[in-house]
Structure 1
Amino acid sequence: MNAHTTFRRAAVFGASGGIGGALAGTLADRGVDVWAGSRSGFCRDKRMRGFAFDLADEASIAAMAAELAATPPDLVIVASGVLTLDDGKGPERSFKQIDADAMEAAFRLNTIGPALIAKHFLPLLPRRDRAVFAALSARVGSISDNRLGGWHSYRASKAALNMLLKNFAIELGRTHEQAVVAGLHPGTVDTGLSEPFQSNLPDGQLTAPNAAAANLLKVLDGLTPRDSGSVFDWKGDEVPA
């Protein structure tokens, strides 16, 4: 499969972030027609078309879906998410630190927001041709691979996202035989999300955004409908449920 001709049109949600921006830029480098979504809607790269959306505002997502209905994407990437909230609350180290409002915010951004994007964009995917809906997940969302505990809201929100992706894959597969729905674990990428947790990383474990984007797109290029509903890491290995 030629990675440079796999997709024609892509919508990237979270294109102002480190990974999302790198994904959008790499796709544009390949000649893909890219819509780059962010909260502001501003996009410096003239090769792309920026659009505004808010994960907590379904109307903004629905409006963009309506705008793209005539020329729908065959690749949708949800590259948004949160580990540390805007108020500085980070992952809980103990169940004693669980805060209802913080947990609700994590689920709103990591689980419910991507689900709303799926609600409005999965119906746009071509029925007869290959199409991919992908969302950034995390290995810590794996229940069977959980050895350390902690990070309750983040882990739970990503585990819930993984379940939704499985559900969406089953439902979409009934009408879109060539479609793939997948979660992606990018590894530890040098972005604002991971910055507070980089100090103790082993040498070589931190990946630059552009390298992470290339890794993830290589994974997407190789996925088939048989893979739909699973989560894959940046090497293409399936992450346990």
Structure 2
Amino acid sequence: MTQKGNALVIGASGGLGREVYRQLLASGQYETVYGISRQITQKPSADISYFVKGAKLIELDYTKESAVADFCHGLEHQGQFTRIICCSGVLHGVTDNGVKLHPEKRLEELSADTLSAYFATNTVLPALWLRYLLPLVKGSLSADVSFFSARVGSIEDNNLGGWYGYRASKAALNMLVKTAQVEYQRRAKNVTLVCYHPGTVDTPLSEPFQNNVKPEKLFTSEFSVSRLLLHLSTVQPDKGPYFIDWDGKEIPW
């Protein structure tokens, strides 16, 4: 019998994360699909997918490194993970410690608190997952680890300016992924790392910025996630890392 491997969704309660979790479960391609969320805002009874075989939804405060480490160590005997998708990220709102975030338009809007908050969520947390996931994805089966990034994180493609904290934190995420692929190719040659720009998706993250988006360019979560999974079926470890958009087109780093 062919081994299926496991899947993991980090940030499974967000607008995109819930859809990633749903589509991975619906595919039937995995032994178990783990969904990790800092706070499960919707009870399992509201979604039948939480009851299907192989579904495990777990509340975990992964802002703490020790929680990430303990969680990953606890999965090391559950079989290889062949697909991991990190959906966590922040663009605007108020952090747990009261820092108000909004995309900066001018240098005068920069502050140490907001920059730290952007980097904590968009860069540091994904980096910790990169560290502790290595033993889970290393193995005989092909595996991929994807992070929701953003086109505005491209240094070469930045012609508009603004959005300092978000741009910089996503650019740093891209660099961490690109650097980690070098080491993964030595230690886990079966693993491909991916940075994915989902386009402008109709979720709370993009809601304040949708007015200037053409209707045909405002995507549903279902569409953007299905495109990611389509492109992941073609990635190859020796050609990674990838920085691609919803259409599969390469984005300059």
Same fold (TM over 0.5): yes
The structure 2 residue matched to 1:83, chosen from 82, 91, 100, is: 91
Which aligned pairs between 1:172-183 and structure 2 lie closer than 5 A? 172-183=184-195
Match of 1:131 in 2: 143
* Match 1:63 to one of 63, 67, 70: 70
Cα contact 2:104–2:164 (8 A) shared by 1: yes
Query: Which range moves more in the overlay, 116-125 or 41-50?
Result: 41-50
C-alpha separation in 1, matches of 2:146 and 2:226: 15
Correspondent of 1:17 among 14, 17, 21: 14
Q: Distance in 2 between matches of 1:85 and 1:113?
A: 18
1:52 — aligned with what? Answer: 59
Aligned length: 237
Which digits, 9 at most, give the CA deviation of each residue in 1:175-228, with x for residues without a partner?
A: 222210111110111111000100111120111111111011111111111331
- Code of the residue aligned with 2:17 in structure 1: it is G
Other-structure match for 1:203: 215
Q: Is the 8 A contact 2:76 2:135 kept in 1?
A: no
Partner residue of 2:27? 30
RMSD: 1.7
Once the two structures are superposed, what CA deviation does each residue of 1:53-107 show, in whole Å capped at 9, x if it has no partner?
A: 3342111111210221111421111100000032542110111100110110100
1:113 is the counterpart of 2:121:
no
Native 8 Å contact 1:55 1:114 kept in 2: no
Unaligned stretches of 5+ in structure 1? none
Paired amino acid for 2:85 = I
Residue of structure 1 equivalent to 2:115? 103
TM-score, normalised to structure 2, is: 0.89
Flag structure 2 segments of 5+ consecutive residues without an equivalent. 45-49
How far did 1:124 drift?
1.6
Q: Secondary structure at the match of 1:74?
A: strand
| Partner residue, 1:155 | 167
Task: Report deviation, 1:150.
Answer: 0.3
CA distance in 2, matches of 1:221, 1:202: 29
Q: Distance in 2 between matches of 1:137 and 1:93?
A: 20
For the 8 Å contact 2:181–2:192, the answer to whether it is kept is yes
Which aligned runs of 4 or more in structure 1 are off by greater than 6 angstroms? Answer: none
Task: Please report the TM-score for the alignment, with normalisation by the length of structure 1.
Answer: 0.93
